[in-house]
Structures are given as structure tokens and as C-alpha cells.
Amino acid sequence: MSNKQIASFYAPYMKKLHVSPNQKISTMSCGQRSQVALGLILAQNADLLVLDDFSLGLDPGYRRLFIDYLREFAKAEEKTVFMTSHIIQDLERLIDDCIILDYGKILTQMPVDDLLRDFAKYTFRLDHAESQLPADDAIINPSKIKNEVELYTFKSGEYVKETLDKQGISYSGLHRCDMSLEDAFIGLTGKY
């Protein structure tokens, strides 16, 4: 790729950042320096981009700008981007498919839309604080604080209700909660 082609990708991005072509890197903030580096990566116009924790150290505004630009770039240029991040809410706006790992074990691998449709968090209130949590292979990471219970599953609300009833757990207010990708990550890994 020629310098002219690289500049055609890089220059519009730097303009969005309000970085002048003559500005020295040493005068930039940490966030701006990170954005310049990310802009140079995008300017290479590779068919596959691999970004590892790309947004660490970026201010919220710069993160959002980069995410928006990356989404537009990947779509317009039909690029594949493989990325990792500990800032899950950034990924939700970017990715089509996800793999959630825990200590090297794949917990799920599926399109994000399917995960958010099929994986659910249910909450309910135990009628008796001493009641046990439901035990079932399809129920993931149940937890209890006082009488309030939350659990995660790929099964339906009807399945959860039947499981609770079958195990003789007295409860009220069974409710399916809307979830983000971050909620799904917490539910699958059990990590807060």
C-alpha cells in the first residue's frame, strides 16, 4: 500500500480527533497518542485486524470515537476484526460474534444477538430465607443475598418455574431481566 493510500485512511481519522498533521506526539495526551497508534494500525488496511485490549487507557470520549470509527471502517471496507477487551460494553457496540472464555475454557461461542436473546437472567424472592438455591445443570451461577435470588440459564422461564416447583422451593416474583453483553459475561463466568 502506498503512503498516499495510507494517508487516505489515516487523515480523516486524525481530523476527527482534532490532531493537526504537524502536532508532535510528545505534546499529545496519552489518549491522543493511543488514538494515533490505533489510527496507524487501521491505515495499514489489513484484511484482518487483531486488537488486544485496544481501549485500555483511553478516555470515554476517545473510546467511543474509536469504536464508532472502527465500526464504520470494518463495515465500509468489509474487514474482519478479532479483538479482546475487558471493557465489555465497548464490544457490544462492535461485534457480531463472541467467544466468552474463563481460564482458557470456552463457555459460549455464538452470535451476540443470539446470546442476548437466548441467555437470560431470572430473579425471584424466596419465601423462606433458609431455602436452598435450585440445583440443576441448566441453571448457571445461582446466587442469593438474603431472600433475593438471581440465576442465569439458556432455558425458558417456564423451565425455571418447573425446576423451582419440582424442587419444592417456595418463591414469588419470578422475573426475566433484560441483559447487556456485560451481564451475560457475568452470568456465564460468575465473576463480578
User: Percent of the chain scored above 90 by pLDDT?
Assistant: 41
Among 2-6, 41-45, 99-103, 172-176, the range with the most confident prediction by mean pLDDT is 172-176
Q: How confident is the model at residue 4 (pLDDT cuts 50, 70, 90)?
A: low
Is 60 exceeded by the pLDDT of residue 2?
A: no
Is the pLDDT at 42 greater than 90, yes or no?
no
DSSP assignment of 1-37, as one string? --HHHHHHHHHHHHHHTT--TT--GGGS-HHHHHHHH
List phi, psi (to 5°) of 174. -60, 125
| CA dihedral sign, ordered 15, 20, 22, 25 | negative
Task: Look at residue 128 and give its three-state secondary structure.
Answer: coil
* CA nearest neighbour of 47 among 85, 13, 8, 74: 74
pLDDT in tens, 99-112: 998 888 999 999 99
95-144: per-residue pLDDT in tens? 889 999 888 899 999 999 999 999 999 999 999 888 889 989 999 999 99
Model pLDDT, residue 7: 60
3-state secondary structure (DSSP) of residue 60 = helix
Angle at 46 between CA 70 and CA 85, to 5 degrees: 45
**Could you tell me the pTM of the whole model?**
0.75
